[in-house]
Amino acid sequence: MLLLELTKLSRSFGGLQAVKEVDLQINQDEIFGLIGPNGSGKTTIFNLISGALQLTGGSIKFKEEEITNLKPHQICKRGIGRTFQIARPFADVSVYRNVMIGALNHASNVSEAAHITDEVLSVANLFNKKDVNGKNLTIPERRRLELARSLATKPQLLMLDEPMAGLNPTEIEEMSELLRHIRKMGITIFIIEHVLQAIMSLSDRIAVLNYGEKIAEGTPEEIGANHKVVEAYLGEEYFIAGS
Amino acid sequence: MLLSASLLRKTLFVLFVLALLSVPFFIRSDYLLTVLIAALFGAYICVCWNLVAGYTGLFSLGHQAFLGLGAYTSTILYVKYKITPWMGMFAGGMIAAVFAASITFICYRYRVKGMFFAVATLAFGFLLQALFMTWDYVNASTGIWLTLQNKPADFFFMARVPYYWIISVLLVISLLVTYYLERSRLGYYMVAIREDEDVAESLGVNSSQCKVIVMALSAFLTALGGTFYAQFYLYISPACVLSIEPLISMQVGALVGGSGTLFGPVIGWAFFSFLGEFLRGLPLGGTAVGVISRIIWGLSLLIVIIFLPTGMIGLGRKLISLLPFRHQKIATQEIGSGISPSHFTKNEKKED
Amino acid sequence: MTTFIQGLTTGILMGCIYAFFAIGFTLVLGVMKVVNFAHGTFVVMGMYIAIFIFMNYLWDPFLSLLIVIPSMFVFGLIVYYIIVKPIREQPLSAHVIATIGLLIIIENVITLIFGSQYRTVTVPYTTSAITVGSVRIGIARMFAAATSLCVVGLFYLLLHRTDFGRAVRACADDIEGAWGLGINVHRTFLIAFGIGSVLAGFSGAVVMPFAVASPSGGLDIVIKTFVIVIIGGMGSVGGALVGGLIIGIVEGIVSALWSPAIAIAAVFMILIIMLTIKPEGFFKKGLE
C-alpha cells in the first residue's frame, strides 16, 4: 500500500533550488533509504515532509491524504515521526520525561502514556537510564533516545536522519537490528544515511539525491551498479559497487 | 530506607500548608501579620511568573501588566460602578487573560520568539504603564485610593487576619495549579516547549496553543493578585502595579529560588523577604534599605546565573545527594531547571 | 504646521543621539552575540559620572569625557570578565537574567549615591537656542547631535579602516575563522565590550547639558535601542543611524502634534511592526 507520495516536491531559497521536483513513493512496511552527497537536499526533504519548512512547489500525500501545508504537530498526529541529524534530547529533563512527551501524542491520558513509555524504553534499551537527564547521555544513548521519543508517538512512518552518525561498528550493528525490529512492529522507515554498508543492507529500496534532484532509484544492487551514483559519490572511500 | 522524591514533596507541601494555617493562632501582632501577608503576596506572584518563565521558558518581561490590569479593573469597577471587588477580581482576571492570550497569539502568528518575545513583552509592559500614567479615567499618575473600612462583602477588612487567609488560599491554589500542571499533559508539553520548541512540535506538541493557555492562566492568576494588592494596600498607581518593580520581584524570587520547580519561587521569595526584614532592623535609614535590598537582588541573580542555574532548590538537591542515604534518588531532578539550553537559541537551519 | 516642523527638527537631532546610544549595544550584539539589557543603564552611568563631576568641579560634561571614557572602559573590562565571559556561550535566557541583574545593581547603586530624584546639569548654554524661522533649536541638543554623528562616523571608520575593526568584523562573522586568521578572539571580545561600554557612557555624558537624568532611565533607553537595532539590523552601524532617525523623527512629530505618551505608543507600534515584518532588520548580519 502506498504510504507516502512526494510529487514534484520543490523548495528554493531565494535563487538556490535546494530540492528540485523530486518524485518519490514509499510503500507500507518498506525500509526506504535516501542517500546523496552533503548538501544534496536530503534533510530539506525531511523538513518539508515534517512541516518544518514550507514547500515552494509540488505536493505531499500521506495515506492518500494531502498533507502539504500542515504544521509539524499536525503531521506528527497524522502518523509521521522524525529524528534529527544532530541528536536533540530535551537536555534538562530525564529520559523518561523525554519519551513521555512523545508518548502523549497518541495516548489519551498520562497513565496510558506511561505504559507506552515503559514499552518503548525497553525496546530502545534505555530502561535502566530512565532517570538520567538528557544532557548526561552518551552519543549512542542520545541516538536511541531520539528514536525512542519518536517511536512513542506511535508513527506509521518513521523518518530517521542519519541515526548512525558517530556510532562505532558494533553500535551500528545494534542500531540496524533495532531498526529491523521496528519494521517488524509494523512501522515503515524512511532513512537518510551516510554509513553506506548499513543503509545498503537495511533498505528495500534506495533513492539517490544530488544537487536537489533524484538521480537514481532502485534496489541496493541496482544502485550499487549505477554509474551516475558512483560519479556523484566520487571520492567516497567506502562506496560498494555491485554486490 | 527508601524516600522517594515525590513522597518527600507531598509531605513538604502538606507541612507547608499546615504551617500556613496555624500562623494566625500564634501570631497576633498586626505588624508581623502585615509582613507575612506581604511575603505571601510576593511569593504568590513569583509562583505565577514561574509557570510561564520557569516551566515554559517564556520570558514574559511585561507580566506586571497583568498585575496592574487586575488591580485597576476591580478598583475602577468598585469606585465607579460599585461592583464588589470579589466579582471585579474575576473580571480583572478575564481581561488579563485575554490580553495575555492575544499577545502570545500575535507573537506566534508573526514568529516572534525567544529574545524578541522578551523584548515585545517588555515594551508592552512599558507602554501600558505610560498609557495609564496619562489616562485621566484611571486618575493617571496620581493613582486611586480606597477607604479603610470593614465591609467583607466588598473585600474590605479592618483586621489583618482575613487578608492573611485570603492570600494564603491564593498561594496554595497557585501551588496546587503548578503541582497538577506538572503531572498533566500540558505540563509535560510546557517543559518540552522550554527545552526545544521545534523538536516538541515534531513530537505532536501544538506549541502555540500551549503557550497561549499557559500565558492566559498565569495572567489570570496574577491579576487576582492585583485585586488583592489593591484591597490590602488600599492604594494603586501606575508606579506601584504597572512598573518594572513587581516584575523584578517575580523574577528574583522565581529564578534565585529555583525556576521550573514547585517550591523554588516560595523559597526564593521567603529568602528575600527575610533579607528585607533583616535590613530594616539595621540602622540604615529608610530608603537605603530598599536600595541595598535590590542591590543584593541583582547580585543574587548574577550569582545564580553564573554559578547556580538550578537556584536554591538545585543547591538543596545537591546537598541532599551528598548525605549518606543509600538511595540517592531523592535528589533526582524530575522537572529540571528553567534556565535551559536550547530555548532561546537562534534557529540554525541546517540545510542538506 | 510649525509644530510639525519643530517636532521634526527636534526629532532629527534626537535621532542622531539615539543612534549614538545604540551603537555600543549593536557592537556587542554583533561581535559576541550578547544581549545586554543593562546597556541603557551604562548610558545612565555616563550621565551620572558627568553629573558627579559637574557637582564637584563644575566641569562641562564634554570636558568630563576625559574621565567618563577611561572609567567606562575599565568598567566594561571588569564587567566582561566577571559577567559576560561566563555567560557568552550560554543561551540567550542567561544573557537576559544576568544583564537584568547587572541593571538592577547599577541602578540601585546610583540611587544609593545620588538619590532617585531627577538631576540635571546646567551649563551656560543649556537654555540657549537658535531660531530658524519659527523653529527653536536648542544649542545643547545640537552639540549632542553633532557629536553623535561624529562619533558614529568615527566608529564606522574604526570598524572598516583599522586592524582592530577588521578583527572585530571577522569575529562577528565566524569565530573559528577568526582564530584561524591569527586573531586573538578573546582579547577582541574584551576590548570590544570595553568600547561598547565607552560608547554608552560617552553618549550619556554628551546629552547632560540638556537632558534630565534618573537612575531608572536605562530601561527606556534600552527599549528604544532594541527597536533601533531591530530596524537597522544587529551589528549594523548604518542601520543604527537609520533606525535612530526613524525613532527620533516619529517620536518628535508625534510628541509635538499629540503628546509624549502617545509618542511612546507610536514607538511601540514601530516595534510591533518591525517584529512582525522582519525581526532581523533590513540590513545584513555580521558587523558593518
- Contact A43/B189, CB-based, under 8 Å? no
**Minimum mean pLDDT among B107-116, B171-180, C64-73: which range?**
B107-116
Say what the pLDDT of residue B287 is. 76
User: Could you report the per-residue pLDDT of C172-205, keeping only the tens digit for each?
Assistant: 888 888 888 888 889 999 999 999 999 999 999 9
Confidence band for C21, pLDDT divided at 50, 70 and 90: very high
Say what the pLDDT of residue C177 is. 83
* Grid cell listed for B161: 487576619
Q: Do the domain assignments include residue C286?
A: no
Burial label for B13, CB within 10 Å (0-12, 13-18, 19+), is middle
Give mean pLDDT, residues B129-141: 89
Chain A contact set for B179 (CB, 8 A): none
User: What is the CATH architecture assignment of A1-79+189-243?
Assistant: 3-Layer(aba) Sandwich (3.40)
pLDDT higher than threshold 60 for residue B49: yes
User: Could you report the per-residue pLDDT of B286-323, keeping only the tens digit for each?
Assistant: 778 889 999 999 999 999 999 988 899 988 888 877 77
Compare CB distances from B340 to A88, A92, A113 and report the shortest one's residue. Answer: A92
Domain extents in chain B: 5-237
User: Are there at least 3 beta-carbon pairs closer than 8 Å between C and A?
Assistant: no
Chain B interface disruption, residue of C79, C81, C96, C268, most B CBs within 10 A? C96
Percent of chain C at pLDDT > 70 equals 96
Confidence band for B251, pLDDT divided at 50, 70 and 90: very high
Chains that touch B (3 or more CB pairs under 8 A): A, C
Percent of chain A at pLDDT > 90 equals 57
User: What stretches of B3-109 show up as alpha helix (H) in DSSP?
Assistant: 5-26, 30-50, 64-81, 85-109
Complex ipTM > 0.85 = yes
B133 with B140: CB under 8 angstroms?
Answer: yes
User: Could you report the per-residue pLDDT of C70-95, keeping only the tens digit for each?
Assistant: 999 999 999 999 999 999 988 888 89
Pick the residue from chain A with its C-alpha nearest to B335. Answer: A93
Calpha distance A189→A122 (Å, rounded): 20
CB pairs under 8 A between B and C: 127
b/e A70-102 (16+ beta carbons within 10 angstroms → b): bebbebbebbbbbbbbebbbbbbbbbbbbbbbb
* Bridge partner list, A22: A9
pLDDT higher than threshold 80 for residue A82: yes
What's this model's pTM, rounded to 2 decimal places?
Answer: 0.89
Residue C200 φ then ψ, to 5°: -65, -55
Say what the pLDDT of residue C280 is. 60
Give mean pLDDT, residues C28-40: 92
Give mean pLDDT, residues B18-31: 88
The C-alpha R_g of chain A, in whole angstroms, comes to 18
Burial label for B310, CB within 10 Å (0-12, 13-18, 19+), is buried
User: Could you report the per-residue pLDDT of B184-229, keeping only the tens digit for each?
Assistant: 999 999 999 999 999 999 999 999 999 999 999 999 999 999 999 9
Chain B contact set for A211 (CB, 8 A): none
Closest CA to C24 of C86, C32, C212: C32
* Grid cell listed for A219: 534496489
- Contact A42/B202, CB-based, under 8 Å? no
Pick the residue from chain B with its C-alpha nearest to C223. Answer: B123
Say what the pLDDT of residue B285 is. 74
Calpha distance A78→A112 (Å, rounded): 19
- Contact C108/B130, CB-based, under 8 Å? no
Q: Which domain holds residue C146?
A: 2-277
pLDDT higher than threshold 60 for residue B348: no
Burial label for A115, CB within 10 Å (0-12, 13-18, 19+), is exposed
- Contact A93/B198, CB-based, under 8 Å? no
Burial label for B23, CB within 10 Å (0-12, 13-18, 19+), is middle
Say what the pLDDT of residue C91 is. 82
Say what the pLDDT of residue C269 is. 84
Percent of chain C at pLDDT > 90 equals 56
User: Could you report the per-residue pLDDT of C98-130, keeping only the tens digit for each?
Assistant: 999 999 999 999 999 999 899 998 888 888 888
B231 with B37: CB under 8 angstroms?
Answer: no
User: Could you report the per-residue pLDDT of A93-102, keeping only the tens digit for each?
Assistant: 999 999 999 9
pLDDT higher than threshold 50 for residue A243: no
Say what the pLDDT of residue A114 is. 93
Residue C165 φ then ψ, to 5°: -60, -40
CATH number, position C219: 1.10.3470
Helix (H, G, I), strand (E, B) or coil at A135: helix
Calpha distance A21→A58 (Å, rounded): 7
Closest CA to A194 of A218, A231, A163, A215: A163
Calpha distance A62→A165 (Å, rounded): 28
Beta strands in chain A (DSSP E): 2-13, 16-27, 31-35, 57-62, 65-66, 80-82, 157-161, 188-192, 205-210, 213-218
- Contact B334/A90, CB-based, under 8 Å? no
Calpha distance B108→C44 (Å, rounded): 34
In the numeric block, the cell 517620536 is attached to C251
Could you give the number of structural domains in chain C?
1
CB pairs under 8 A between A and B: 111
Q: Average pLDDT, whole number, for chain C?
A: 89
Name the residue with higher pLDDT: B5 or B221: B221
Say what the pLDDT of residue C288 is. 55
Confidence band for A234, pLDDT divided at 50, 70 and 90: low
pLDDT higher than threshold 80 for residue B173: yes
In the numeric block, the cell 555624558 is attached to C205
Q: Do the domain assignments include residue C157?
A: yes
- Contact B294/C104, CB-based, under 8 Å? yes
List the strands of the sheet with A213-218, edge to edge.
A80-82, A157-161, A188-192, A31-35, A205-210, A213-218
pLDDT higher than threshold 70 for residue B328: no
- Contact C272/B248, CB-based, under 8 Å? no
- Contact B192/A77, CB-based, under 8 Å? no
Chains that touch A (3 or more CB pairs under 8 A): B
Pick the residue from chain A with its C-alpha nearest to B207. Answer: A73
Nearest-Cα distance to chain B for C221, in Å, is: 11
Say what the pLDDT of residue C182 is. 82
Would you list which residues of chain C are within 8 Å, Cβ to Cβ, of chain B? 35, 82-83, 86-87, 91-94, 96-98, 100-109, 111-112, 115-116, 216, 219-220, 223, 226-227, 230, 259, 261, 264-265, 268, 271-272, 275-276, 279
- Contact B309/C259, CB-based, under 8 Å? no
Confidence band for B3, pLDDT divided at 50, 70 and 90: low
Say what the pLDDT of residue C204 is. 95
* Grid cell listed for C133: 524661522
